[in-house]
Structure 1
């Protein structure tokens, strides 16, 4: 460098040092990149400066940071420059600086989008993060009208080298923060699911948390359908999910084989990708479709589409989201298994109580009743006016009533403890279904009239109590082979009739119990 060249660079050295310090002081990646662009334009007296971030997998610019452009000028550029060809592609693929006096005369000057400012002088350098080319830093339109000099190139290379190290640190910091958020999200989902959420709430929890972590426009969970397709069963969006829930991917869809096979699917633009066939694809852009799979069991698929024109998912996004999906699938399986264990424990406990009541309490009460009945018959021959027989008769009646109430409790214990039906008709069917466990056969049930609409809750509760008592009494009779239950409702009254063919006294079969209430 000549003495005059050294004198020319000396005033810029403090600016360079200040720029390097500013670049190295930021850990947030976007702020770091904008500092690089602003510093480069100031150092080299460039009217315009830009830094393009490159996705190495697709050889595309994913973001462009600029200096010198107004918001209106940025809005007038419809797309990012093409780095697969042109002078930007030369800088990217050769990983070497490029200095041009007049860009318009170079045959390689292609790939710039419409609305891009007219440029003559050009200076571009690659930005490396370790051995990877992270992107391009380029300047255009040297102020004063002259070309960029070798001194400009030297300064820009120093800045690019420092920028590479700063970007590397910022990327590590950003990746660590993103990983921490995804890990916290997965832990929160696991905690929530293991707290005993219903299945529908559990799937919604996974969809909503994943949407927030991925900064997606929607988070949806799809599950396989009996026809061989997949259907959205849970959807989370910032607003109304609209017609997302119920949307199905038909059998034969190009993405279906991968999804059912447990393979992730990554899409650049849902609206234009031919593999996407649903009617909701038009509203979305980049998307990830991740299998919810644990131990070889496919629970469903987690889809995270972003809005049209949204940023593409990078490799870190894909990795962290895939790990989250695996963790969420494991949590769903564990939550389901825990629910089954809790249900089984409840069933076993209720069954044990029912057996104890039936085998011990009822038998002892029945034996006591027989002893009292025998005593009462002997007391019938007692002298006139003796009240022992009457008292024994009342004791027998009381024991008989107690036995019936205990049997009713046994029937109630045989009912499932959760997921009880809400309609009156369903509750009657539930009671008779539970009785079938002890009876050994299913009672027949007939309904007459609009029972669900006509019977109010207080009357329904009384009728169900009467039904339990009638079923328990029928079970106590010997040789019961069939029971018929009829519920007849009109606008004025509701009547319950329970008829069985059990033996009561020698030579007598069949009993009918009727319960009626005004409405």
Structure 2
């Protein structure tokens, strides 16, 4: 290792020039033993700075931790400075100017007898205390620079080779502490992301709502990444992408529904299945959405499985928060891949469950049609035949009522069969299905299911204008019945075989209930009719 040394003033002859200062080897060994027993990174680095100044007789000491991606100082540990001096010094050094910048750009030991007169010394904050002699060494682990250790103002005048050796030993110890801390933090991050992926998979496979599934992915990713927001974007019909769900630490207003328009540079990368990493969302020209001004660093990760793009997971941080490290980018990209696979599996499982429900409903409908309806119809025919063969007035009336009841029951069962054949999570498109949906919605408030009867081929005969008016009348009649006391049954009848007063075909709606009006009498039956 080559050492850079400025021209030294005469008058110092190594260890003897220190005026009989005690040997430093025992003190160095004691410091190393003490450092090895402390597991806290921050405490260890501070103790290294303190030991550096104590063993070299320096007035000031500092240890700067570098961002491995951008070669800038992210943490600074000092000794010898009072709180007021730290406050006056202000911001951290950027690591690119002055003698500190030299150590970052060319990580070799650097000594300077009078830093205030050195032309390379610049960028010192106005409130920084004056310093003369300076010694700095890099903090390395396997040739990778993690930071720098500096001391300044040797009380005896200048630093020597022994000081450099002491500082290099302490810098090596600092490198071990930083390396171990970063390895430990990386292991912890991996563990958290793996646990998060497992939690997302478990949650997705136990939920059936697709919106819920996307929200779970966004929220879990936001927590794991320490992001200000976690959002899911999905492709639009126009070729853009729209934010469909968002999980934020603050108010999410204005985020959901934001669209990345087709042709945006960031969209080209996402649709191509490439992740996008952004240092500042507010200033990056690739970002075109109006919400970009809220955020700083961001990751946008494609959710794709089997070559199919499901959507995009975006994890923006706040303006003052640090950019994502390479480890965080790698872990988040893996999480996005696992989440995409879990979404596909959850969707497949949901489809299988829905298929099982449909198959079960079809089986029940077939059984009702093939067994129950046929038997009821056969019983009705037998009763009708008996009534005709034995025309006794009393018996004839009873049999007629039994035949009517059976006919009504057959209509109810057929309505149930039709309802079973409707997809439960979809809006019905047929007129019959829309009537059943309206009556089913009223059942949630009434506590019972209204009885619905259809006469005639209502789906084929009732057009859209008449259907819209009839449904509105049905909603009004059901709402009026809900407000009455004592209602325990409601009969709804839709008949498409009646004739209008003008002689043409018409549809009639009759809604009757067993409640009581305000005057105690039975309420009037609601009858509505319109021509077809």
TM bucket by the smaller chain? 0.7 to 0.9
Superposition deviation, residue 33 in structure 1: 3.2
**Are 2:433 and 1:434 equivalent residues in the alignment?**
yes
Deviations 1:87-121 (A, max 9, x none): 33433344321111122333333455665554332
User: Match of 1:469?
Assistant: 453
**Are 2:278 and 1:275 equivalent residues in the alignment?**
no
User: Match of 2:267?
Assistant: 256
> What secondary structure is seen at the aligned counterpart in 2 of 1:92?
helix
- TM-score normalised per structure 1: 0.80
Superposition deviation, residue 512 in structure 1: 4.6
Deviations 1:316-343 (A, max 9, x none): 1111222222222222222222222211
> What secondary structure is seen at the aligned counterpart in 2 of 1:205?
helix
Task: Answer yes or no: is the 8 Å Cα contact 2:63–2:150 preserved in 1.
Answer: yes
User: Match of 2:511?
Assistant: 515
1:233-248 matched pairs, under 5 angstroms: 233-248=244-259
**Are 2:243 and 1:232 equivalent residues in the alignment?**
yes
For 1:497 and 1:235, the matched residues in 2 are separated by 46
> What secondary structure is seen at the aligned counterpart in 2 of 1:4?
helix
Deviations 1:160-194 (A, max 9, x none): 11222232222222211121112112222222222
Which of 146, 151, 157 is the aligned partner of 1:134?
A: 146
Superposition deviation, residue 135 in structure 1: 1.8
Superposition deviation, residue 400 in structure 1: 1.6
Which of 304, 326, 332 is the aligned partner of 2:315?
A: 304
Superposition deviation, residue 153 in structure 1: 0.9
For 1:9 and 1:433, the matched residues in 2 are separated by 102
Superposition deviation, residue 86 in structure 1: 4.3
For 2:205 and 2:18, the matched residues in 1 are separated by 69
Change (3 A) 1:511 1:138: closer
1:25-36 matched pairs, under 5 angstroms: 25-36=37-48
**Are 2:179 and 1:176 equivalent residues in the alignment?**
no
For 1:249 and 1:350, the matched residues in 2 are separated by 42
User: Match of 2:119?
Assistant: 107
Which of 414, 418, 429 is the aligned partner of 1:411?
A: 418
Change (3 A) 1:46 1:164: same
1:45-444 matched pairs, under 5 angstroms: 45-70=57-82, 73-74=85-86, 79-84=91-96, 86-110=98-122, 116-142=128-154, 144=155, 146-196=157-207, 198-380=209-391, 385=392, 388-418=395-425, 432=431, 434=433
> What secondary structure is seen at the aligned counterpart in 2 of 1:259?
helix
Superposition deviation, residue 247 in structure 1: 2.8
Superposition deviation, residue 312 in structure 1: 2.4
Superposition deviation, residue 501 in structure 1: 4.4
User: Match of 2:494?
Assistant: 498
Deviations 1:244-291 (A, max 9, x none): 223333333332222222222222222333333333333322222222
Task: Answer yes or no: is the 8 Å Cα contact 2:303–2:336 preserved in 1.
Answer: yes
Deviations 1:376-410 (A, max 9, x none): 32333xxxx57554454344233222212211221
Change (3 A) 1:458 1:201: closer
Change (3 A) 1:47 1:354: farther
Q: Which moved more, 1:201-210 or 1:34-43?
A: 34-43
- TM-score normalised per structure 2: 0.78
Change (3 A) 1:463 1:230: same
For 2:301 and 2:426, the matched residues in 1 are separated by 31
- Extract unaligned runs of 5+ from structure 2: 1-12, 482-490, 500-504, 513-522, 527-532
For 1:76 and 1:206, the matched residues in 2 are separated by 45
> What secondary structure is seen at the aligned counterpart in 1 of 2:296?
strand
For 1:227 and 1:103, the matched residues in 2 are separated by 63
